[in-house]
């Protein structure tokens, strides 16, 4: 589910930038300034849930752009879709780097009990200044760790996303990110190697050279070392070679020490069979839902 196309956060590395060109917008500043709002998304979701073909697989929010970017504070499209998921007891998985997710902590806690709701907060940097240079309009890492804490305190299962891993720039911050996430209440993690499809590359390299001119060459060399750019869907999330193995070992070692589990946030993963279509009559007899949905 992608309630918005384009993203105000303006992350220079965002792999969704080229998708904006399908809307006849640019992948550069248009991506973060000309946002498309899918105002009919809740109605379409409800219609999809009413189809007999829908069996209640986990829905992934923010597969492309952030479902909690600033416009969500006004439009509340993500919130309304989560309310529909609660009504139908459909499990969800959310990936966000926005502190706005705290607004829906109570709703997500309800959904966690009725079906399943898992939230991953993406934190590739623990250094606020470095994050601001690469993710100019996203909330600070400090605010994201606070969001993890708020969700965990509300009873929501929450994890941290080391995404993207940018060799030569942020791998040395991995131990601190994981430690602070666990201290805030994170129980799971996932990783993703930086990938720069088509028009994303020029945006990333321009901003990197402006912010860290002494590191750009190092990052470029490191990306070659780890074999970044593999187009295969699952293979492109990880690297290969000695340098990547060293990074992967670093992550595994600290995750094991901290008790973090690897939990993929994708659609369908680990989704419990809780889905049911509500009707006023059947709500009086909860056991009847199972017979109706067979």
Q: What is the mean pLDDT of the chain?
A: 90
* Number of Cβ within a 10 Å radius of residue 224: 13
Following DSSP, what letter does each residue of 158-195 receive, concatenated?
A: EEEEEEEE-TTTTGGGHHHHHHHHHHHT--EEEEEE--
Higher pLDDT, 293 or 238: 238
CA distances from 255 to 181, 185, 261, 262 (A): 11, 14, 7, 9
Q: What is the pLDDT of residues 3-17, one digit of tens each?
A: 999 999 999 999 999
Q: How confident is the model at residue 294 (pLDDT cuts 50, 70, 90)?
A: very low
What is the spatial distance between Cα 247 and Cα 6, in angstroms, rounded to a whole number? 31
Nearest to 68 by CA among 36, 93, 99: 99
Q: How confident is the model at residue 286 (pLDDT cuts 50, 70, 90)?
A: low
* Number of Cβ within a 10 Å radius of residue 251: 20
Sign of CA dihedral 131, 120, 264, 37: negative
What is the spatial distance between Cα 104 and Cα 91, in angstroms, rounded to a whole number? 15
Q: Is residue 129's pLDDT more than 80?
A: yes
Mean pLDDT for 122-138 is: 95
Q: What percent of the chain has pLDDT over 90?
A: 82
Residue 279 confidence (pLDDT): 80
Task: Give the start-to-end residue ranges of the domains of the chain.
Answer: 4-269
Q: Is residue 291's pLDDT more than 50?
A: no
- In this prediction the pTM is 0.90
Beta-carbon contacts of residue 66 (< 8 Å; ≥ 6 apart): 4, 7, 9, 96, 97, 98
Q: What percent of the chain has pLDDT over 70?
A: 89
- Secondary structure percentages of the chain, helix, strand, coil, to 5: 45, 10, 40
Any idea which of 63-77, 96-110, 165-179, 251-265 has the lowest mean pLDDT? 251-265
Q: Which two tokens stand for residue 29?
A: 């500043």
Residue 265 confidence (pLDDT): 52
Which CATH architecture is the domain 4-269 placed in?
Answer: Alpha-Beta Horseshoe (3.80)
Mean pLDDT for 37-64 is: 94
10 Å CB burial of residue 74 (0-12, 13-18, 19+) is exposed
83 membership: H or E segment, kind and range: helix 77-88
Mean pLDDT for 208-225 is: 95
- For residue 118, the SS3 value is strand
Mean pLDDT for 218-226 is: 94
């Amino acid at each position: 589910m992608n309630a918005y196309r384009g993203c105000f956060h303006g992350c220079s590395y965002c792999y969704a930038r080229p998708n904006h060109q399908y809307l006849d917008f640019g992948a550069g500043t248009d991506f973060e300034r000309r946002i498309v709002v899918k105002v009919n998304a809740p109605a379409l979701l409800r219609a999809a849930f009413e189809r007999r073909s829908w069996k209640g697989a986990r829905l992934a929010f923010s597969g492309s752009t952030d479902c909690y970017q600033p416009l969500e504070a006004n439009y509340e499209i993500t919130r309304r879709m989560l309310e529909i998921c609660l009504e139908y007891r459909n499990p969800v998985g959310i990936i966000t780097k926005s502190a706005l997710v705290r607004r829906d902590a109570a709703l997500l806690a309800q959904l966690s009990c009725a079906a399943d709701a898992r939230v991953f907060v993406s934190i590739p940097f623990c250094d606020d200044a470095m994050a601001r240079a690469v993710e100019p309009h996203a909330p600070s890492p400090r605010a994201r760790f606070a969001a993890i804490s708020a969700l965990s305190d509300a009873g929501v299962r929450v994890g941290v996303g080391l995404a993207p891993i940018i060799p030569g720039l942020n791998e040395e911050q991995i131990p601190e990110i994981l430690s602070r996430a666990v201290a805030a209440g994170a129980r799971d993690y996932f990783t993703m190697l930086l990938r720069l499809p088509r028009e994303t590359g020029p945006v990333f390299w321009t901003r990197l050279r402006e912010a860290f001119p002494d590191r750009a060459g190092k990052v470029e060399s490191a990306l070659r070392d780890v074999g970044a750019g593999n187009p295969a869907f699952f293979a492109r999330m990880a690297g290969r070679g000695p340098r990547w193995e060293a990074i992967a070992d670093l992550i595994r070692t600290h995750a094991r020490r901290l008790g973090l589990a690897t939990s993929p946030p994708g659609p369908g993963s680990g989704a419990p069979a809780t889905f049911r279509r509500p009707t006023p009559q059947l709500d009086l007899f909860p056991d009847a839902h199972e017979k109706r949905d067979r």
